[in-house]
């Protein structure tokens, strides 16, 4: 299935999507990358692939059913990896409607186009087809300090418009399996970090603010806990779930790395102190600044990923220190990428043949 896979990836110019594209491209026959190129879709994430004939970039919207149907047929797609989503909690608080439009309506239209295409495939094609939906642990709500980690059986309890929109999309994917027997698989991941992450997210924001001499804003008391997952470990888990997972199932993917935000920031500062010391000799920790907590800020997330470990043999390759060290090193080595995305220069560039 893998060597002859013809894969449609939605949102493949974003953070996780582009890392997934780089990860799986050597293992598939063709990869069609559909991305609307909104603020978080960055063509620079794909520049190294511009001469790769197996990678076909299409700028477009998952809500465009006609375009999606055309791509499925034209490229004889055998699997879909669905990453495209509005994903920033703060933005969803300011303006929920785009999150419902993309995450719920967009997923519905993508599912329906895929269902109609899958329905008309020959028997062997229907049996081989897969629809992998990438979601988040935020659909499960918030945990207390002593609560057990989220499992695949944890009831949904979303606390932000973003989380609610992703919960809605998860329910739609489940419904398409039970109603139409469509071959779907869902993954719910913990907080990702690593190369190519849009700098509004915690880790790249702290790295870039530190280097620019800006304050390091910390919500509330800094003790909100997340389970941190290195993005390349996530990509490996997604590909395993897509190629070996059981149909209709959900797999939780976590980094086995629970950590309060304040400790994340301290770790980043300490790595920068070692790799790129401040000119005045002071620690980057002196740039910390506590700010008012955001509305509906979940206290703790934690993932129980026993299911994917036992069924598919996956476990994260990176630990806390190695993953953060690689991440800080990547941002230090790619300052031009950082400057371009911060200035939104990438949105003005010609897309070329990516």
- Give me the active site residues, please: 137-138, 162
For residue 253, the cross-strand partners are: 189
Tokens of 263: 């400790």
> Could you give phi then psi for residue 132, rounded to 5 degrees?
-105, 120
Residue 44 CB neighbour total at 10 angstroms: 18
Longest alpha-carbon distance in the chain: 68
Q: Strands of 225-230's sheet, edge to edge?
A: 191-193, 225-230, 258-260
Residue 306, CA distances (Å) to 104, 191, 251, 256 in order:
28, 17, 9, 10
Residue 314, CA distances (Å) to 12, 103, 132, 134 in order:
23, 27, 17, 17
Rounded CA gap, 27 and 239, in Å? 10
């Amino acid at each position: 299935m893998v060597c002859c896979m013809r894969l449609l990836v939605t949102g493949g110019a974003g953070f996780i999507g582009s890392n997934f594209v780089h990860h799986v491209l050597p293992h598939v026959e063709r990869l069609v990358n559909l991305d609307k190129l909104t603020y978080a879709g960055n063509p620079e994430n794909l520049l190294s692939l511009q001469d790769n004939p197996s990678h076909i970039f299409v700028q477009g919207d998952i809500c465009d059913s006609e375009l999606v149907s055309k791509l499925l047929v034209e490229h004889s797609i055998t699997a879909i990896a669905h990453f495209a989503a509005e994903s920033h909690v703060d933005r969803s608080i300011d303006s929920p409607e785009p999150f419902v439009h993309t995450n719920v309506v967009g997923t519905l239209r993508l599912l329906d186009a895929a269902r109609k295409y899958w329905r008309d495939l020959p028997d062997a094609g229907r049996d081989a087809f897969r629809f992998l939906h990438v979601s988040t642990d935020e659909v499960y709500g918030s945990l207390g300090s002593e609560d057990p980690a989220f499992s695949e059986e944890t009831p949904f309890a979303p606390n932000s418009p973003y989380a609610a929109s992703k919960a809605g999309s998860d329910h739609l994917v489940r419904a398409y399996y039970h109603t139409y027997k469509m071959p779907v698989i869902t993954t719910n991941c913990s907080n990702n970090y690593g190369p190519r992450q849009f700098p509004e997210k915690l880790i790249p924001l702290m790295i870039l603010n530190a280097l620019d001499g800006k304050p390091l804003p910390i919500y509330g008391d800094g003790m909100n806990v997340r389970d941190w997952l290195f993005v390349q470990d996530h990509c490996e888990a997604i590909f395993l779930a897509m190629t070996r997972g059981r149909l209709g199932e959900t797999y939780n993917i976590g980094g086995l790395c629970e950590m309060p935000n304040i400790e994340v920031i301290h770790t980043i500062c300490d790595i920068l102190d070692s790799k790129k010391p401040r000119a005045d000799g002071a620690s980057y920790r002196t740039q910390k600044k506590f700010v008012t907590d955001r509305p509906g800020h979940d206290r703790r997330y934690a993932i129980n990923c026993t299911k994917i470990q036992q069924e598919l043999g996956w476990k994260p390759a990176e630990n806390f220190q190695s993953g953060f060290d690689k991440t800080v090193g990547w941002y230090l080595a790619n300052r031009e990428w950082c400057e371009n995305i911060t200035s939104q220069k990438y949105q003005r560039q010609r897309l070329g043949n990516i």
